[in-house]
Structure 1
Amino acid sequence: MSRNTDVVVIGGGYAGVMAANRLTRRDDVTVTVVNPRPVFVPRLRLHQLVAGTHDAVVDYETVLAEGVRLVVDSAARIDAAARTVTLAGGGELGYDYLVYAVGSGASGPRVPGAAEFAHQVATLEAARRLRSVLDDTPVTARVTVVGGGPTGIETAAELAERGRAVTLVCGGALGPYLHPRARRTARTYLARLGVDVLEGPDTAVTAVTREAVELRDGRTVPSRVTVWTVGFGVPDLAHRSGLRTDAAGRLLTDETLTSVDDERVVAAGDSSAPSDLPFRMSAYAAGCLGAHAADTVLKRIAGERPSPVDLSFPAMCISFGRGAGIFQLGRKDDTATRLYFSGPVGRKLKEISCEASVKHLVTEARKPGAHSWPKDGKHRPAQLRARSGDAAAPVA
């Protein structure tokens, strides 16, 4: 007599929810999602939560497929040999297959004073704390946002549009991914909002105090509230569980997203490192990798050979408050082209992208297997061959 296959998904973000929903393609698969929060967090909205223009939460009943069980808890340890997950709140979950989708958060800042005096945006709890701090801080007080990437830019713009006096300290280039033409447009938008932008390597932060940010070039930037958006880290669950990881702590997998240690463990999203060559962290990539991870599990259940991951990056987008945005078109190898949409059109495309990141999950919940994404088939295999030093090396 046949029995159900039990799949545990650790993590209820973009990757975990997509994987869980797609796994329901088979009626004989039982899916359990373990997540520390009872609500789904669309992380693309956290900078809006900080500014008070979005609450950045969605009910799991909206995005999870019917029949998927949600366990509100954290995974404390994975025992791959016993195929069990120990929960922080007590008890264990057994599994036949495990999808490791624990996501990412802010990395611990190593700059003196940053951990004590700077606030972060990378998690729902951190964004809510920062929102509370800002609510108790006069609107005229100086706010310094550290980090010139999308999170830093969007947070600085959102706060400036709400009337805050904001300095954006990049520590390097503003919007490193952007094409130089788009970067000039970004500077223009930030200037219109009144954001003081400090760029270049000499603007790297060397210390944070209660009332200021100190830079490498010796300048001191007054700061009543400092927001830290530099760097992301991943939970150390895989390492603590004896599974091999890359230097950043992401689970090492092959190109099918299967752990190099155990074919019953498959990874997706920010916490995965296929071939020790991880994809850029993003909601878009997380959703696509979650779908591919589910496909890998389903093929193993069916006794078929899983396929290598195939993913290209067509664009990236940044909002500048509620009035403007940049939708940067990219090549399949994830580098920017000269083409981009800006202004209200860029803002609209950015909003469509944010909405689509959740709508894809809803669609997959209702019609598992529906999600598809742009493929490449060329650049990643070339990257893998180049790294191995063998132009003729196989890629699968």
Structure 2
Amino acid sequence: MTLAAGGTVGYDYLIYAVGSASTAPRVPGAAGFAYPIADLEEAQRLRAAVDAAPPTAAVTVVGGGSTGIETAAELAEEGRTVTLVCGGVLGASLHPRGRRSVARRLTALGVSVLEGAGARVTAVTRDAVRLGDGRELPSAVTVWATGFGVPDLADRSGFSTDGVGRLLTDETLTSVDDVRVVAAGDAAAPSGLPFRMSCQAAVQLGPQAAETVLSRIAGEDPAPVDVGFFSQCISLGRRAGVLQLAGRDDTARRHHLGGRTGAGLKEFICKGVVWQLSYEARRPGTRTWWVKDAKRRQLLEERRDAAPADPERATRGPR
């Protein structure tokens, strides 16, 4: 493994867990005038820009997913004048009931929500955001909360990747090119069927990647990945939130918990992540509290049955 400083690091096994980050926006002006918010350093730059803007200055948040919703709610709760530009549907991954709950809370906070095809951003300037339907929104601070991706390290290293650059692995999270490389988290694509970018997937995939390595060291066959989902959590300021219940395959269900209860549950889950990781460190292989997605195994079997005897690889191998 070659480092940016020029040195090298040898390994017997490598766990590829580089996560996700913002991608360079393709909308004209966005790279120069909008503030991404995918990591701590970006959030700190945005904080400084918001603090420097007048209290009544217009703030535009671009992106109707969880990150955009949470950012808009936090800024509005501080008293900022916020417009949330969805470029489609607000909270597209939520059930319509959960979506309505989010919309009500944003309205109560004073957030203007723009949805639909006409609400797609076509350009960003220093003090405005232009939309596809011709509207131009004043914007002293524009937050870019869309377009997440993964680092291109796997692709630059010559490994097989999916269309967005995730490392392709088999169901044991082992690279299809090298049994010594095991992937976990947002940057992994097991069988070309990656899980949603989320802490809920990461806290399950991380321990399983470690178990794959330990199994190989012990000369044993590693177990296939076994992941399940039960909810999506969205904060709506400090005093409200939505816990959207989901099926094991991450499909939103009709039930959700909102208001203070939703906020409290999300806070409890976030704090529980640390406990979970320490628990699994003490008892490797213990994941009994996670429901599992049986549909994934069925989907993989259907894909294998439908595939030709000698399919041509859709992604290139290592250089």
The 5-angstrom pairing of residues 185-196 of structure 1 reads 185-196=101-112
Letter of the 1:149 counterpart: G
Distance 2:76 2:293 in 1: 42
Distance 1:300 1:373 in 2: 25
Among residues 128, 145, 155, which one is paired with 1:212 in the alignment?
128
After superposition, the Cα gap between the structure-2 partners of 1:284 and 1:165, relative to the gap in structure 1 and judged at 3 Å, is same
Report if aligned partners of 1:360, 1:371 keep a CA contact under 8 Å in 2: no
The 5-angstrom pairing of residues 308-387 of structure 1 reads 308-365=224-281, 367-387=283-303
- Residue 89, structure 1, aligned to residue 10, structure 2: no
Distance 2:219 2:88 in 1: 49
Give the aligned partner of residue 282 of structure 1. Answer: 198
Give the aligned partner of residue 144 of structure 1. Answer: 60
Unpaired stretches in structure 1, ≥5 consecutive residues: 1-84
The 5-angstrom pairing of residues 124-273 of structure 1 reads 124-273=40-189
Letter of the 2:40 counterpart: L
Q: Which secondary structure state, in structure 1, belongs to the residue aligned with residue 211 of structure 2?
A: helix
Distance 2:102 2:61 in 1: 16
Distance 2:231 2:110 in 1: 27
Query: How far has the Cα of 1:276 moved from its partner?
Result: 0.9
The 5-angstrom pairing of residues 282-301 of structure 1 reads 282-301=198-217
Query: How far has the Cα of 1:358 moved from its partner?
Result: 2.9
Give the aligned partner of residue 21 of structure 1. Answer: none
> Does 262-271 or 235-244 show the bigger shift?
235-244
Query: How far has the Cα of 1:361 moved from its partner?
Result: 2.7
Distance 2:211 2:51 in 1: 45
Distance 1:117 1:328 in 2: 33
Query: How far has the Cα of 1:211 moved from its partner?
Result: 0.9
Query: How far has the Cα of 1:283 moved from its partner?
Result: 1.1
The 5-angstrom pairing of residues 2-41 of structure 1 reads none
Letter of the 1:314 counterpart: F
Report if aligned partners of 2:208, 2:285 keep a CA contact under 8 Å in 1: no
Distance 2:18 2:100 in 1: 36
Letter of the 1:151 counterpart: T
Query: How far has the Cα of 1:377 moved from its partner?
Result: 4.9
Distance 2:87 2:21 in 1: 20
Q: Which secondary structure state, in structure 2, belongs to the residue aligned with residue 318 of structure 1?
A: strand
Report if aligned partners of 1:105, 1:122 keep a CA contact under 8 Å in 2: yes
Deviation by residue 1:319-369 (Cα, 9 ceiling, x = unmatched) = 100111100100111111111111110010111122122332333445554
Distance 1:332 1:185 in 2: 22
Q: Which secondary structure state, in structure 1, belongs to the residue aligned with residue 222 of structure 2?
A: coil
Unpaired stretches in structure 2, ≥5 consecutive residues: 310-319
The 5-angstrom pairing of residues 67-82 of structure 1 reads none
Give the aligned partner of residue 100 of structure 1. Answer: 16
Runs of 4+ in 1 over 3 A off after TM superposition: 362-373, 385-391
Deviation by residue 1:186-236 (Cα, 9 ceiling, x = unmatched) = 111000000000011221111111111111111111111000011211111
Report if aligned partners of 1:158, 1:320 keep a CA contact under 8 Å in 2: yes
Report if aligned partners of 1:143, 1:165 keep a CA contact under 8 Å in 2: yes
Deviation by residue 1:227-265 (Cα, 9 ceiling, x = unmatched) = 001121111111111111111011010011000000010
Report if aligned partners of 1:311, 1:375 keep a CA contact under 8 Å in 2: yes
TM-score (norm: length of structure 1) = 0.75
Deviation by residue 1:88-111 (Cα, 9 ceiling, x = unmatched) = 234222111110001110011100
Distance 1:153 1:218 in 2: 24
Report if aligned partners of 1:288, 1:373 keep a CA contact under 8 Å in 2: no
CA RMSD of aligned residues (A): 1.7
Q: Which secondary structure state, in structure 1, belongs to the residue aligned with residue 279 of structure 2?
A: helix
Deviation by residue 1:291-342 (Cα, 9 ceiling, x = unmatched) = 1111111111111111111111100110100111100100111111111111
Query: How far has the Cα of 1:381 moved from its partner?
Result: 1.6
